[in-house]
Amino acid sequence: MRRNQDKPLATRAPASPFCRVSDRLKSSWRKSRRAALLAMLVGATTVSSVGCSVFDRIKDGPHDTKASYHDDFAMRIEYPEVQQCATAPSEAAKQATEPLALEDPSKIPSLELTLEQAIQLAVQQSPVLRSIGGTVVSNPQGTTTTFDPALAHANPLTGTEAALSAFDAQFSQQLFWSNADQPQNILAGSVNAQFTPRALQEDYATYIAELSKQTAQGASFALRHNINYNDSNRPNRAFRSDFVGFLEAEYRQPLLQGSGTTFNRIAGPNSGIGQYNGVLIARVNEDVALADFEAAVISLVADVEQAYWDLSVGYRVLEANVKGRDAALQTFQYQQVRLEAGAGRSDEEAQAQSQYYQFRAQVEAALGGPDGLYTREQRLRYLIGLPASDGRLLKPTTTPTDVRVVFDWESALGQALTRRVEVRRQRFNLKRREMELTAARLNRRPRLDFLGQYRFRGLGDHLIGGSDKEQFDNLYGSITDGNYQEWQAGVEMQLPVGLRAASAAVAHANLNLRRERAVLAETELRVSHDLSDSARQIMLTHQLLETNYNRYLADQRQVDVLRRRYRDGTDNINFLLQAQRQVVTSEAEFYTSLTNYNLAIRDFHRQKGSLLAYNQVQLSEGQWAPGAYQDAYETGRHLTPRRNPSDVHIPSPLTSGPFDPSAPQMQTFMNAPATDAMLESSPQPTAEPTPAPTEN
């Protein structure tokens, strides 16, 4: 029999006279896990070659010498067969062309795109909310989609509909047939022998139907109907076969534990100690799922704006390096001419050539490097759902903001502590803990139920029909006559002495409540700190924008002066080469600071909870199915308003009303030109930075 013939020699265990049983068991296990446990086989063979293990004490069995059918199929890697619909993302994945690397961007057709269009494409292209990191491949279960709020609502265990199903009417029925053929231990010739058959032969049939309903107050109603059929050869029976049954109504009302709408709406009817699966808890779960979805949308919008401005500055950085490369090439060519004419030096010619290749390498890195133009362009393409490459080059056309922003700190702080989705999500968690503590306290009581039953009994030779002239002719006639009625009323009590489990549930709920309150306070503190940091970044980045702009102007003037002095022969080439490097660096940092300033404004809106409104993104429920509109219309016709709402006790509301995270807010920003006081520290004559050009 084939054992380890198909295994590499490096994984075979050397034969050992002391470990035969162990080798057989390990060989059988290796065969069924050939692919998954290959790395562990090396260690196993080392142990086998040194000594024996616990497997040596296990006797050989028939299963050790027979190969299993599953040995060759259990761990075989196969390809799944699934049904996949053609969608925009799947088509975009198949339509990707060869990626761009070092092509000249000026020779590639451009696709102009505004920031508003990019955000609109990102939120409408796919039900999956993308991220820059692309975690959908490594962590698909943790990816947020537009289906998540609906999944929370439709969850059969924790959703709202699942919680409401506990109050649905329940109908159950049972129907069984059976037969008995039992010999009797009766002495022949005795007195009982003439009244009892030697073999008892009976046919049975049982039918049970029940309709029950649970109410929000904890009460339960039930209507039962039982029918028993018996066909027997027993003597002294008026009918050989008969139908016996009853119609019963039951009412059970908890008086202490499990009573009241408050407890049943939070914990659900008939819930155990520490179990909270009521309608209100399910509603909070849905609100938390909506908050998570909103946070994912905010993250998507922030990522799109980040990628958009990164691509915009990528064009500017590439343009600055191209200018530096061309200037270095001109200097190198000029130095070559001087060297050929005998007026130059070879070391200066080598320095100019080295700087040219340095700028050329920077251009190539700014074009196709890990943080180059094509990489940034592809990152934006992924976020908006376009193919990785399609022969066109995305080109941002939105002009970045370069004017100073003034904001109202008190208003912004108040909005951040109110509108931030993280704060609202934590408030929902706190609300859930408050309701759980209320339910736990209501559940720390003995079980005392009032029970009432009323029953109509009947007996009949037939189930239904008959002559109706004889007594007990049919079962339903006997029941409807109402001659045989029974009732029962009383209370049932169950008291766990000490109520230890219920008291532990109260303590646990109280600790959870205190924890969520502490987390909410810490969340608000963190939000205020984050908002303060973002406000500081706005002021800092705008000041750096002005400083880098003045630096860029100064470096340009320095290059012009040193170029003239170098060509006049009054200065060394080293100063010109250094100035050329500085002007490229200052230009790149100026556009980088311009992008950082716009991202700082984005971060401030994000920390303030107004990013969706800032980017004009609205969240709304999708269209219903046509049948849902018809059901809502038919149900709404039967609903009438309360005539006297003050006479009806209504539980306290769960929320304070609807909240729209994308609604317009109080104006907290004003665009204002930079004042002279802000520029007093600048050593150079200052000028207002102009908007970045949109052409490459």
Task: Give DSSP secondary structure letters for 547-587.
Answer: HHHHHHHHHHHHHHHHHHHHHHTSS-HHHHHHHHHHHHHHH
Q: How far is CA 483 from CA 243, 246, 465, 476, 624, in A?
A: 16, 12, 18, 12, 55
Q: What is the mean pLDDT of the chain?
A: 83
Pick the range with the lowest mean pLDDT from 247-251, 496-500, 557-561, 626-630.
626-630
- pLDDT for the residue 184: 76
* Biggest distance spanned by C-alpha atoms of the chain: 151
d(CA 469, CA 112): 95
What's the confidence (pLDDT) of residue 62? 65
Q: What confidence score (pLDDT) does residue 135 get?
A: 79
432/611 Cα distance (integer angstroms): 27
pLDDT of residue 679: 35
Phi, psi of 604 (to 5 degrees): -65, -45
Cβ count near 463 (within 10 Å): 16
Of 171 and 130, the structure prediction assigns the larger pLDDT to 171
Q: pLDDT at position 233, please?
A: 82
| Per-residue model confidence as pLDDT tens digits over 519-573 | 999 999 999 999 999 999 999 999 999 999 999 999 999 999 999 998 888 888 8
Residue 221 is predicted with a pLDDT of 96
Say whether pLDDT at 3 is over 50.
no
pLDDT confidence of residue 692: 40
Mean pLDDT confidence for 26-44 = 42
Are 160 and 268 within 8 A, CB to CB? no
Least confident of 223-227, 307-311, 480-484: 480-484
Q: Does 5 or 57 have the greater pLDDT score? A: 57
* Least confident residue range of 63-77, 395-409, 435-449, 540-554: 63-77
Q: What is the pLDDT of residue 39?
A: 39
Q: According to the model, what pLDDT value does residue 474 have? A: 86
Query: Smallest Cα–Cα separation from 276: which of 286, 285, 267, 263?
Result: 267
| 234-258 pLDDT, tens digit each | 777 777 888 999 999 999 999 999 9
Query: Rounded mean pLDDT of 91-106?
Result: 87
More confident residue, 27 or 186: 186
- Whether the pLDDT of residue 34 is over 80: the answer is no
Residue 681 pLDDT > 90, yes or no?
no
For residue 685, name the pLDDT band (cuts at 50, 70, 90). very low
Q: How confident is the model at residue 338 (pLDDT cuts 50, 70, 90)?
A: confident
Mean pLDDT for 272-300 is: 93
Find, among 599, 580, 556, 537, the residue nearest to 687 by Cα.
556
Q: What is the DSSP string of 590-612?
A: HHHHHHHHHHHHHHHHHHHT-HH
Give the least confident one: 213-222, 560-569, 604-613. Answer: 560-569
Structure token pair of residue 494: 């169950």
126 versus 227: the higher-pLDDT residue is: 227
Closest C-alpha among 362, 370, 405 to residue 587: 362
Nearest to 52 by CA among 22, 11, 84, 96: 22
87-101, 147-161, 281-295, range with the lowest pLDDT: 87-101
Please give the residue that has the higher pLDDT: either 182 or 668.
Answer: 182
Tens of pLDDT, residues 425-450: 999 999 999 999 999 999 999 999 99
Q: When comparing pLDDT for 607 and 663, which is higher? A: 607
How large is the angle between the packed helices 500-568 and 421-443, nearest 10 degrees?
Answer: 170
Q: In order of start, what are the domains of the chain with their CATH numbers? A: 9-72 (no CATH), 107-158+284-445+510-622+662-696 (1.20.1600.10), 170-276+447-494 (no CATH)
In this prediction, residue 63 carries a pLDDT of: 64
Q: What is the pLDDT of residue 678?
A: 36
Confidence band for 467, pLDDT divided at 50, 70 and 90: low
Report the C-alpha gap between 445 and 496 in whole angstroms.
9
The whole-angstrom separation of Cα 360 and Cα 325 is 6
CA 118 vs CA 372, 602, 611: distances in Å: 20, 15, 15
Q: How confident is the model at residue 421 (pLDDT cuts 50, 70, 90)?
A: very high
Q: Which of 597, 589, 588 is nearest to 541 (CA)?
A: 597
Q: How many CB atoms lie within 10 A of CB 301?
A: 24
Beta bridge partners of 174: 208
Question: Predicted confidence band at 695 (pLDDT cuts at 50, 70, 90)?
Answer: very low
- Residue 37: predicted pLDDT: 38
Please say if the pLDDT value at position 1 is more than 60.
no
Between 542 and 95, whose confidence is greater?
542
Using the predicted structure, report yes or no on whether residue 296 has a pLDDT greater than 80: yes
pLDDT in tens, 199-213: 788 899 999 999 999
Residue type, 45: T
pLDDT of 372 strictly over 90: yes
Of 37-46, 81-90, 209-218, 367-376, give the lowest mean pLDDT range. 37-46
